[in-house]
Amino acid sequence: MVRNSETELCVESGSEQGRCQVPDTWIMTRRLFLKSSSMAAAALCIKPLSAYPEDGNRKVDLSFGIVTDSHYADIDTRGNRYYRESPDKMAECINLMNDKRVDFMIHLGDFKNGASSHNIENLKHFESLYAQFNGPRYHVLGNHDMDSISKSQFQTVVENTGIDKDATHFSFNRRNIHFVVLDANFRSDGAAYDTGNFHWTDANIPRQQLEWLEKDLAGTDLPVILCTHQLLDLDEGNHYVRNAADVRKILERHSRVIAVFQGHQHQGQYNRVNGIHYYTLKAMVEGSGEENNSYAVVEVYDDLTLSIAGYRKSDSRHLEISQKSDPDR
């Protein structure tokens, strides 16, 4: 853990905190797991952080499911990425989200993986599993979503409920929260990612999208939660948006922005920068077996506290709203 006056960084990769081997820190919930085309009952571990302490005055206004980096493809395992196991993992995730009756789901990018001769067919199959969720669903574009097809091909297959098919960045309101989805899949020269014409470390938010973001945030009076694939809280390493500092300046000018949810960095982490929470969810594709699945339920309370219930290897957290030093800057 590293802290300074502006940034609190808590990287939890490799931590055993909250694992099922420590039963005192878990409670049990029911889920169904799809295996070999049949359904079998099993137990699923979840941390008690999902139950926010009640004081009689606080209630949940909204809940939504997050999942990221499923990288589905019908290809052999590479390193610690078990591509063919993602359908079973997604089925488990969707069953729990339906059981919990979350208000919507959002996938934080790298829905699919390339290196296959059946990319569109694989995408259609995996989207059909995601579509088993009984509610609105959304996609954030990740770099692997364009490693073998174009953005337009990807957008044609997937659904973002109530959003124009051509929109790769967009916003929507759910209950009393304004959600913003960004697309950082642009090269430094401004060209959009298209059928592998990029290097994954060169992620950028183009000027036109920055202008749209500024206008979108200025046009809402609601608290804001933003979703992106590549990281916005860091300015070094391979996983961040190259002009992340420019994006953060816009977010920090608007005191209503409370949290950012991200993928891409498969080990997951948490960071708080100038009063905004940045939660990076661990990847679904990493590791074999149901115990290595990863997804989470986010509950938004009426005081804007966020309670993240991390399932399987995902981390759970309480995120309290922060008062920014100068909300009008």
Question: In angstroms, how far apart are the furthest CA atoms of the chain?
Answer: 56
User: Would strands 2-3 and 7-10 be described as parallel, antiparallel, or unpaired?
Assistant: antiparallel
Domains annotated on the chain, with CATH: 37-46+60-319 (3.60.21.10)
User: Can you say whether residue 296 is alpha, beta or left, with left for phi > 0 and alpha for psi between -120 and 50 degrees?
Assistant: beta
**Residue 30 pLDDT class (50, 70, 90 cuts):** very low
Work out the percent of the chain whose per-residue pLDDT is above 90. 76
282 CB burial (10 A radius; 0-12, 13-18, 19+): buried
Above 50 in pLDDT, residue 48? no
Q: What is the pTM of this model?
A: 0.84
The three-state secondary structure class of 105 is strand
The stretch 70-92 carries a mean pLDDT of 96
pLDDT in tens, 97-117: 999 999 999 999 999 998 766
pLDDT in tens, 298-322: 999 999 999 999 999 999 999 998 7
Q: At what angle do helices 207-218 and 244-253 cross, to 10 degrees?
A: 10
Return d(Cα 235, Cα 296) in angstroms, integer: 26
Looking at every residue in the chain, the average pLDDT score rounds to 84
pLDDT computed for residue 56 by the predictor = 57
Measuring CA to CA, which residue among 231, 254, 292, 293 is closest to residue 65?
A: 293
Above 70 in pLDDT, residue 197? yes
**Residue 55 pLDDT class (50, 70, 90 cuts):** low
Residue 155 host element (H or E): helix 151-157
**Residue 186 pLDDT class (50, 70, 90 cuts):** very high
pLDDT computed for residue 53 by the predictor = 53
**Residue 39 pLDDT class (50, 70, 90 cuts):** very low
How many Cα neighbours within 13 Å face the side chain of 310?
Answer: 27
User: Can you say whether residue 133 is alpha, beta or left, with left for phi > 0 and alpha for psi between -120 and 50 degrees?
Assistant: beta
Above 60 in pLDDT, residue 4? no
